[in-house]
Amino acid sequence: MNKQGSRRRFLRGGIAVAGASMFAPAAEGGVVTTTAATSLDAERMRSLIAFTMTTMDTPHPVPYGAEIFDSATGASLMRAVNRVSEDHDPSGHGEIVTIRKACAKLQAWSLKGYTLYTTCEPCPMCMACCLWAELDRVVYGATIADAARFGHQIMIPSVEVARRTDLKCSVTGPVERERALELFTNAKMQAVMKKWK
């Protein structure tokens, strides 16, 4: 075999090895932790689900809502819902809208010292935003696999996104999963989702 063919084979092998190591699972024991849900988590999630359910009586019903609480005092800082359709903004997920509003209210980019509750497990974009915002903790209702039953999803669990960084964030969920699923199975929401397909 000539040198050029040998060089190509070597380069292809090197690219395969580099790709395999680049996408290999992160080492176990990363910075992410999972914590058990508390009765307070369940109470806050039920309240958030009820808040999000109010969108079913609007022209833009959504199953995705989020709320941010002060981790130490328990005071609610901000809550909002998904605004993708309403604002024609593909990044307008409930978690991101809530984080943007909370940061604007605090006039800060960091939400260290705060916990985010969300009716559905954050997608990779939203979980990355939670990490960049330095949230202490994320608590979710329905799982990303649940959401995938009703529409397109990027199937990477939030714990996996958090595990692949040196930023610290605790993840808890699912919490009140069956109640959170009612947001997706609501008749008005189902009618809207049929139009999305």
First and final C-alpha spacing in the chain: 53
Strand 65-70 with 76-81, pairing: antiparallel
Helix axis angle, 187-196 relative to 177-185, nearest 10°?
60
* CA-CA-CA-CA torsion sign (152, 196, 180, 110): positive
Task: Return the active site residues.
Answer: 95
